[in-house]
Amino acid sequence: MTAKHLHKDIPAGELTAMTAAELAEKIHSGEITSVAVTQAHLDRIAATDGDLGAFLHVGAEEALATAAEVDAKIAAGEKPQSALAGVPLALKDVFVTTDAPTTCASKMLEGYISPYDATVTKKLREAGIPILGKTNLDEFAMGSSTENSAYHVTRNPWDTDRMPGGSGGGSAVALAAGQAPLAIGTDTGGSIRQPAAMTDTVGVKPTYGTVSRYGLVACASSLDQGGPTARTVLDTALLHEVIAGFDPLDGTSINKPVAPVVAAAREGAKGDLNGVKVGVVKQLNGAEGIQAGVTEAFRAAVAKLEELGATVVEVDCPNFTHALGAYYLIQMSEISSNLARFDGMRYGLRAGDDGTTSADDVMSITRAEGFGPEVKRRIMLGTYALSVGYYDAYYLQAQRIRTLVAQDFEKAFELADVLVAPTTPTTAFKLGENVDDPLAMYNFDLCTLPLNLAGLCGMSLPVGLAPDTQMPTGMQIMAPALADDRLYRVGAAYEAATK
């Protein structure tokens, strides 16, 4: 019997509720088509995104063309290009694409079409994964609520009056709302993990250097890392293996084998954590500023890990209390340097050029009109930190603290295989509640950014609703560099035990 005779008419609502692994199995067996799956998700986007604002661009024609190619190969008896071939995906709008705009949610790049694909984009295409579109974010990935987009805010499907986390709120909302079974985000200080926690989804920041940054529009180059997001640990692992790997086009890429994350997820799903040592970070367990309901949900999750056989110990990371200030000094300094390229001369927006205006004035007018307030704030603070007379006092001192944070991690991993902490200090706050309070926004990175300073890997995993707000919250699992598989083993065990 040929594949075309096996196709079933499955209701669109069932298709958009299935996991990526389930969809892949049915597509590859010929039971359903990638075109049907992709169309169901496009229809879901059309029906819901007016209220949610997850997408900046939807590429229906391109996605359906990729899906049709996958279906044709399967019908011809060819092996699928990857374990996720035919399963559609939402791509954060910071990875360049030749067939869709890459705006970084900024007026500075409105309508910009790249002449080349990012390495992550290329890997997705080679894997036969239809790209549904580009998702919304805080402008140039600067923010914690997806309210800083130049185009529109993104709303949390659990409560549309609340934010979905940031900067990658669009990708997380696409997952949570059933608009996509898979998504790609980036994580500079928590921009994958925070939205995952806010929306009851799974998000992983891989080890720095294991997913190529070539074609990822830079925010802070020593901190940025692309990564996979999905609704289950296994789906996230399957996507992780697609996008990870050495890339000679990225000077920071690590030439090491990809950690066996899919095998670890499958092993973890058996629910046995005997022999695993879990370290609870003292500075992030019920600390001042962490919501009581978040702490309660986190401690219940740790207790569940102990029930599964893990040994739980407390670890002391004293320099985490200094990490927030150091992180923002480093991040803003790198932003100041990276965003200098957006000058109105080479690509993107050019404002005030009437043929007589000087180049300096065109640059000034373009940057004033093209960048939003948060981006301007970070450029100015970063430029100040790098200026003559302040470089040693600010930037170099922040780098020293970065070293101390990394040393805290090293000592902690001598005592434990993985570390755990709440992903965010609170659940999702109301849209507009902190928009005029930059420090409150920056404090939202409290739990996630130490990992970026050290270049390690981390996962945010849903741990239910915080009792005091009835909104989703997450537990963050952290592991040493290149030990990404540990995240998936522990995460899958918890997930299997708490469905």
Beta bridge partners of 193: none
CA-CA-CA-CA dihedral for 381, 383, 385, 386, to nearest 10: 170
Known active-site residue 387: no
CA 328, CA 29: separation in Å to the nearest integer? 49
Is residue 191 part of the annotated active site? The answer reads yes
Catalytic residue selected from 82, 144, 191, 253: 191
Catalytic position from the list 82, 114, 167, 336: 167
Instruction: Report d(CA 37, CA 64) in Å as an integer.
Output: 10
| Chain-centre distance for alpha carbon 39 | 24
Beta bridge partners of 113: 101
Report how far residue 496's alpha carbon sits from residue 499's, in angstroms, rounded to the nearest whole number: 6
- The answer to whether the beta carbons of residues 84 and 205 sit under 8 Å apart is no
Return the amino acid letter for 358.
S
Q: Report the C-alpha dihedral over residues 297, 176, 142, 192, rounded to 10 degrees.
A: 60
Residue of 185, 180, 182, 195 lying closest to 238 (CA atoms):
182
How buried is residue 62: exposed, middle or buried, by Cβ count under 10 Å (0-12/13-18/19+)? middle
The kind and range of the H/E element at 457 are strand 457-465
* Cα separation, 490 vs 493, whole angstroms: 5
- In the set 92, 122, 123, 205, the catalytic residue is 92
Nearest to residue 261, comparing CAs of 23, 482, 474, 415? Answer: 482
Catalytic residue flag (residue 122): no
- Give strand pairing partners of 51: none
By the 8 A CB rule, do 165 and 424 touch? yes
Cα 270 to the center of its chain, rounded Å: 27
Cβ proximity of 247 and 280 under 8 Å = no
The answer to whether the CB of 191 falls within 8 A of the CB of 92 is no
DSSP class of residue 319?
G
Q: Vertex 265, ends 302 and 224: CA angle to 5°?
A: 80
Using CA atoms, how far apart are residues 189 and 443, in angstroms rounded to an integer?
A: 11
Where do runs of H (alpha helix) occur along 7-158? 12-15, 20-29, 34-52, 60-75, 119-126
Backbone phi, then psi, for 226, in 5-degree steps?
A: -75, 155
In this structure, are residues 130 and 80 in contact, taking their beta carbons and an 8 Å threshold? no
Q: For residue 167, say if its preceding peptide bond is cis, omega within 30 degrees of 0.
A: yes
Catalytic residues: 92, 167, 191
